Amino acid sequence: MSDLVGVWDVTLSDGIHKVEFEHGTTSGKRVIRVDGKEIYRQDWMFKLVGRENFQVGKAKCCISIDTAGGFAYEYTLSVNGKSLRKFHENQSKIMKTWVLYIAGADTRVVLEKDTLDVWVNGKKVDTTGEFVDDGTETHFEIGNHSAFIKATTTGKRRDGIVHQLFVDETEIPLAKE
């Protein structure tokens, strides 16, 4: 019988990572897997509650094990000191993501708005920026396809800057992650 008690998706610039947690409520066993790879195992522990810290890419993660009354337990994942929900809200503010089908495969393009780094399928790519009449363009390659992210201002403070991805001069819609 599996002791799997928690599964979470953590969205980072380099992709979406699946975190799985096993907890043996009689033995105290703890197993953490990231993207199917076991990164931590403790087969026997006297203390059934507590915290397990680990990394997913550059993100610092913590699984908290708390009692929920009787012999029930509650498991929460925090990322970079924030609850997973708050972390995802923050990520959606600082990242723009596009998913497109190109060269026979799904391709994920991410713009980190705070650093202006561009990631393609989990790898940071070299970019070249250029000023244009109505904003800026950040040029890069996806395989042998030319791509750029255009940043233009809406002229309204609340709306800020709009980012659009173009691949071979065709606009790609934002992903709904």
Place of tokens 């255009």: 150
State the fold for domain 4-80: Lipocalin (2.40.128)
The domain spans of the chain are 4-80, 94-172
Classify burial at 63, counting beta carbons within 10 Å of its beta carbon; exposed 0-12, middle 13-18, buried 19 or more. Answer: buried
Convert the pLDDT of each residue in 113-135 to its tens digit. Answer: 989 999 999 999 999 999 998 89
> In the structure encoding, which two tokens stand for residue 82, read together?
């924030």
Do 4-80 and 94-172 share a fold?
yes
1, pLDDT greater than 70: no
Convert the pLDDT of each residue in 6-36 to its tens digit. Answer: 999 999 988 899 999 999 878 888 999 999 9
Strands (E) in the chain, as ranges, are: 4-12, 15-23, 30-34, 37-42, 50-56, 59-67, 73-79, 82-83, 95-102, 105-112, 117-120, 123-124, 128-132, 135-142, 145-153, 161-167, 170-172
Residue 158's pLDDT band, with cuts at 50, 70 and 90, is confident
81/78 Cα distance (integer angstroms): 6
Lowest-pLDDT range of 1-5, 32-36, 104-108, 128-132: 1-5
Confidence (pLDDT) at 70:
77
**Mean pLDDT, to the nearest integer, of 154-160?**
77
State the fold for domain 94-172: Lipocalin (2.40.128)
**Mean pLDDT, to the nearest integer, of 156-167?**
86
Residue 159's pLDDT band, with cuts at 50, 70 and 90, is confident
Convert the pLDDT of each residue in 35-75 to its tens digit. Answer: 999 999 998 877 888 999 999 988 999 999 999 887 789 99
Residue 87's pLDDT band, with cuts at 50, 70 and 90, is very high
31 close to 22: Cβ distance less than 8 angstroms? yes
177, pLDDT greater than 70: no
Give φ, ψ of 169 to 5 degrees.
70, 10
Share of the chain above pLDDT 70, in %: 99
Q: What is the pTM of this model?
A: 0.79
> In the structure encoding, which two tokens stand for residue 61, read together?
């993660």
